[in-house]
């Protein structure tokens, strides 16, 4: 019995993080349900209802003092506010990409972001890295360049998604805070502005839940669950997983996004798109499989 329990305890973090990336992967289908709701209202409700769920989570996990510490100095408040703006911008861009049928472009941004984070660590934070990671970043950038030249315009959605999340990651690196505490603090910073915004809209004649349709009400309420549950599962799972395992999984969500964009939403995916994404996938393969190749080579040498 104990052996089975131990085996389950080892599998739960991996199962949790797979569930998280599945939820993030199918989010275009979820946001498509909100076609009658303005983007600003979706974001406002998402932030407010996230606070309603994250604060009890902070209290139940005895993180109240850590949360209070986030507001003890102007520096911490300023960094938390910047994090909040970046993550809110990232959320808005993802929803906007769905509403304007630009999910293929958004998935490109999500593919490139982890590679650019490595680049940021090397050149801004002066972290040590291997040559293959720098090469991978340049290959991914070439892929974006090819698509830009073909389409004749900069892939703005992809670049803004990359910019917002890499900046967010960099700021989180500077703050060094527990994931649940961090996102709860960020939502607390934003929520008063969202409450004022919705109150203003209500006074101006736009109802709080847009329509009297119960489905719309429940959808807007569900944004808190859709935001908070993956974050809580992620915070639980990541400390118990090897980063090498997590590295593979983080590309799962944009892959689902891309498949949904092509086969369900019917977005354009030409041979040039394929060439561009091919370079991005090659860059990902270099980052992921280089360490594995080195381990296999070292093992064969020992044999």
- Predicted pLDDT of residue 97: 93
- Predicted pLDDT of residue 129: 60
- Predicted pLDDT of residue 123: 64
Asked if residue 1 has pLDDT above 90, the reply is no
- Predicted pLDDT of residue 208: 77
Asked if residue 5 has pLDDT above 60, the reply is no
- Predicted pLDDT of residue 226: 92
Neighbour count for residue 150 (Cβ, 10 Å): 14
- Predicted pLDDT of residue 107: 87
Neighbour count for residue 234 (Cβ, 10 Å): 20
- For the residues 142-155, what does the mean pLDDT come to? 76
Hunting for tokens 């909100």 — which residue is that? 34
- Predicted pLDDT of residue 11: 76
- Judge whether 52 and 224 are in contact, CB under 8 Å: yes
DSSP-derived 3-state class of residue 254: helix
Domain of residue 107, residue span: 2-302
- For the residues 114-138, what does the mean pLDDT come to? 69
In total, how many domains does the chain have? 1
pLDDT tens digits, 176-212: 788 889 889 999 999 999 999 999 988 888 887 776 6
- For the residues 260-275, what does the mean pLDDT come to? 90
Asked if residue 94 has pLDDT above 80, the reply is yes
Count how many Cα atoms sit within 13 Å of the Cα of residue 50 in the half-sphere of its side chain: 31
* Percent of the chain surpassing pLDDT 70: 83
Cα(263)–Cα(26) distance, rounded to whole angstroms?
13
**Residue 131 CA, distance from chain mean position:** 26
pTM: 0.81
- Predicted pLDDT of residue 165: 85
């Amino acid at each position: 019995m104990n052996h089975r329990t131990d085996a389950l305890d080892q599998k739960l973090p991996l199962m949790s993080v797979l569930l998280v990336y599945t939820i993030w992967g199918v989010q275009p289908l979820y946001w498509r349900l909100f076609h009658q709701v303005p983007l600003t209202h979706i974001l406002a409700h998402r932030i407010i209802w996230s606070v309603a769920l994250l604060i009890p989570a902070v209290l139940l996990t005895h993180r109240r003092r850590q949360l209070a510490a986030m507001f003890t100095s102007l520096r911490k408040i300023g960094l938390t506010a910047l994090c909040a703006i970046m993550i809110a911008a990232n959320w808005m861009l993802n929803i906007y990409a769905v509403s304007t049928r630009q999910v293929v472009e958004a998935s490109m941004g999500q593919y490139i972001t982890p590679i650019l984070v490595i680049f940021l660590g090397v050149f801004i934070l002066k972290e040590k890295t291997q040559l293959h990671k720098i090469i991978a970043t340049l290959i991914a950038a070439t892929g974006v360049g090819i698509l830009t030249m073909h389409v004749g315009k900069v892939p703005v959605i992809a670049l803004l998604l990359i910019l917002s999340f890499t900046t967010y990651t960099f700021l989180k690196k500077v703050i060094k805070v527990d994931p649940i505490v961090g996102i709860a603090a960020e939502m607390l910073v934003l929520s008063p502005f969202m409450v004022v915004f919705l109150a203003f809209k209500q006074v101006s004649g736009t109802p709080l839940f847009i329509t009297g349709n119960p489905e719309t009400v429940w959808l807007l309420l569900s944004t808190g669950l859709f935001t908070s549950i993956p974050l809580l599962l992620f915070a639980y799972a990541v400390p118990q997983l090897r980063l090498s395992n997590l590295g593979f999984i983080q590309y799962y969500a944009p892959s689902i996004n891309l498949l949904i964009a092509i086969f369900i939403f019917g977005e354009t995916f030409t041979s040039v798109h394929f060439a561009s994404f091919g370079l991005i996938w090659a860059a990902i393969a270099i980052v992921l499989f280089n360490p594995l190749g080195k381990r296999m080579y070292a093992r064969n040498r020992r044999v």
